[in-house]
Chains A and B, each alone.
Chain A
Amino acid sequence: MSLLVLEHVGRDYDMGHVQVQALRDVSMSIERGEMVAIVGPSGSGKTTMMSIIGCLDRPTTGRYELDGRDVGTLDDRALAAIRSRTIGFVFQSYNLLPGTSALDNVATPLLYQGVGRKERVARAAAALERLGLGTRLGHEPTELSGGEQQRVALARALVTNPALVLADEPTGNLPQHQGEEVLGLFRSLHAAGNTVVLITHNPDVAAAAERRIHLRDGAIESEERVGVAA
């Protein structure tokens, strides 16, 4: 069974007197263990796509099914529960909680799952160590480099063992070598069997994925399945 299925999904925004169709009739599915890039220029509907896949938003029309559940029918509380258990987010601007140590940042998703403090700390520390940040546990975001911050964000996305890792321009703010390092981390996640969805405008980033879905003007323009670039 596919991990996620979109059937004729549309998302309209009501901007006062103008109706904006951010997504139109998008249908696709992503299998477990796939690594998919959703690619498109700005304004193509990428961010809306991420919001819907990430259960931050609901489609206006059509049907979105994640892990066997119809997201469109769920209330805010149930959506929060899905975000908490099923999805790990990585954002372009890292979006770490300011003034909060790397350890506490990574432990936060577990807090919302109701995990006890001891176990939270242990799991968060383990996640940070896997990403080579074992010596940075007590550092706050401002004390970390961009690459380190993004690795903290990745650790935070992975700490709950989500079914889906959803990354929005994960290398957008990083210098090239750090960006490549982060992409390498996503590839090894994929190699370990995780489902990874990258959302990007950058063809070099998209090249890390074996399957690329191109968006334009809120609709799927084309799709390609290729060998992964080295």
Chain B
Amino acid sequence: MSTLELVRLALSRLRRSRVRAALTMLGVVIGVASVVGLVSVGRGTTAQITEQLSSLGTNLLTISPTGRSTTASLTIDDATAIEGIDGLAAVAPEIETQGTVATSATNTTTTSIVGTSAQYAQVRAYEVWQGTFLSQPEVDESLRSVVLGASVATNLGLGAEAVGSTIQIEGIPFEIVGILQPKGGAGFQNPDDEVLVPLGAVSKYFVGGNGVRAIGVSVANGVDMQSVRDQISELLRVRHGIGATDTDDFQIFDQTQLLQAASTISGTLTLLLGGIASIALVVGGIGIMNIMLVSVRERTREIGIRKALGARGRDILSQFLIEAVVLSLVGGAIGIGLGLVISALIGRLAGWGFIFDPTTVAAATLFSLAVGVVFGVWPARQAARLDPVAALRFE
């Protein structure tokens, strides 16, 4: 008997008891739908996290002070020294202070005033929306030039035409040279809520001292991050006079580490979600096994008749096994459809869009096939092993 014949037989049998077939499938439908749905939610989250993290800048090392003392442990001079290390694409020290930015007496906003170098945009992966970023001469001369973060521009109601005009920062007039593209929030700090001025301008006009909040270092492509990291660490330890047994008064933070950690965590979460959902699938499989066992018992006489008509044990086994597999596969197909609809809806609500992942669909199909085989084989063996004489006498 060919598989095609058996599938035809199974389908005609299932058509005859539609309600039962539908209810039996329901467990697998729910199981597969939740696996597909939850895995796609997991993947969506992972994609979103990765995208946001890489928007912070790739190949980025951030050096920040670990404050044991009130005096700044990391200075502009440290940044200048770091620039001497080979393999760096850009170095951007950041001095930060809070201040008021105003276009008029009534139109004001409070934000971070960050003094930095011309490389800041490159290091932190900012795009300029209008105008230009701070130029090297502006930074060198500590000119009163400012680049506005997207949120600040919005808060002040400034559009493209504002480039070239003047705003007041803490009462001091600065020329707007550019406005940045929004990056979107990536956690605790809104990267769009700041204004950028030349490094020297901060100490000149706002706060004294040369302590920095951080030094951003962009490592050139193809250069080993770890070796750069070690060189910076060594350099700073020497400069700060830290003994061999003392701990650092700074930390070097690697963006790719965070990226890896985040994707590991969300990958684990995806697995966990999929694992929990597959419990539903197993329960669905048990439902199929239960109904198949009932079915074998109810159809004992039919099995006897078929054997009398020349069916081999193998024919009976295949018939029941394929019935179980058809149940689980049809259930699986419906579940995949439902799961994709669910993940499209969630993706739309959560804003990462619809992620169609053929791997998940293939895995769900294989998984439901496996459920059908695993939970169908025992009832089918029971059927195949029936003694024809006893089966024919069964009432």
- A residues with CB within 8 A of B: 51, 54, 56-57, 76-77, 80-81, 83-85, 89, 91, 95-99, 108-109, 111-114, 117, 156, 160
Contact = CB atoms under 8 A, between A and B. Distances in A.
B310 A84 contact: yes
B389 interface: yes
A35 to B, nearest CB: 21
25 contacts: A56-B308, A56-B392, A57-B388, A77-B314, A80-B307, A80-B311, A80-B312, A81-B312, A83-B310, A84-B309, A84-B310, A84-B311, A89-B308, A89-B309, A95-B301, A95-B305, A95-B392, A96-B305, A97-B305, A97-B306, A108-B306, A109-B309, A111-B1, A112-B310, A117-B5
B249 interface: no
Given A95-B301, A112-B315, A117-B5, A56 B309 contact: no
A81 B388 contact: no
A83 B308 contact: yes
Contacts of A56: 307-308, 388-389, 392
B16 interface: yes
A99 B309 contact: no
Interface of B: 1, 5, 16, 301-302, 304-315, 388-389, 392
A97 B301 CA distance: 9
Nearest to B301: A95
A146 B200 CA distance: 107
Given A56-B392, A95-B392, A76 B312 contact: yes
B17 to A, nearest CB: 9
B343 to A, nearest CB: 39
A57 B311 contact: no
A105 to B, nearest CB: 9
A76 B308 CA distance: 12
Nearest to B17: A99
A85 B310 CA distance: 8
A97 B302 contact: yes
B140 to A, nearest CB: 88
A152 to B, nearest CB: 12
A86 to B, nearest CB: 9
Given A56-B388, A91-B392, A114 B1 contact: yes
B318 to A, nearest CB: 12
A76 B305 contact: no
Contacts of A81: 310, 312
B178 to A, nearest CB: 76
Contacts of B305: 95-97
A114 B314 CA distance: 13
A56 B390 CA distance: 10
Contacts of B315: 112
Nearest to A91: B392
Given A112-B1, A114-B1, A156 B309 contact: yes
A160 B16 CA distance: 27
A217 to B, nearest CB: 20
Nearest to A159: B309
B389 A51 contact: yes
Contacts of A57: 388-389
B319 to A, nearest CB: 10
A83 B309 contact: yes
Contacts of B306: 97, 108, 112
A95 B303 CA distance: 11
Contacts of A83: 307-310
B1 A80 contact: no
Given A83-B308, A112-B315, A114-B1, 4 more contacts: A57-B388, A97-B306, A109-B309, A112-B310
A77 B313 contact: yes
Contacts of B313: 76-77, 80
Nearest to A89: B308
Nearest to B388: A56
Nearest to A157: B309
B5 A111 contact: yes
B309 A108 contact: yes
B312 A112 contact: yes
A96 B302 CA distance: 8
Nearest to A99: B16
Contacts of A51: 389
A80 B302 contact: no
Nearest to B298: A98
A80 to B, nearest CB: 4
A114 B313 CA distance: 15
Contacts of B311: 80, 84, 112
A123 B311 CA distance: 19
B310 to A, nearest CB: 3
A156 B310 CA distance: 12
Contacts of A85: 310
10 tightest A-B CB contacts, nearest first = A84-B310, A112-B310, A80-B312, A109-B309, A56-B388, A83-B310, A95-B305, A51-B389, A89-B308, A99-B16
B9 to A, nearest CB: 8
Contacts of B16: 99
Nearest to A160: B310
A209 B304 CA distance: 28
Instruction: Kindly name the residue among A54, A99, A111 whose own CB sees the greatest number of chain B CB atoms within 10 A.
Output: A111
Q: Which of B5, B306, B309, B389 has the most CB of A within 10 A?
A: B309
Contacts of B304: 95
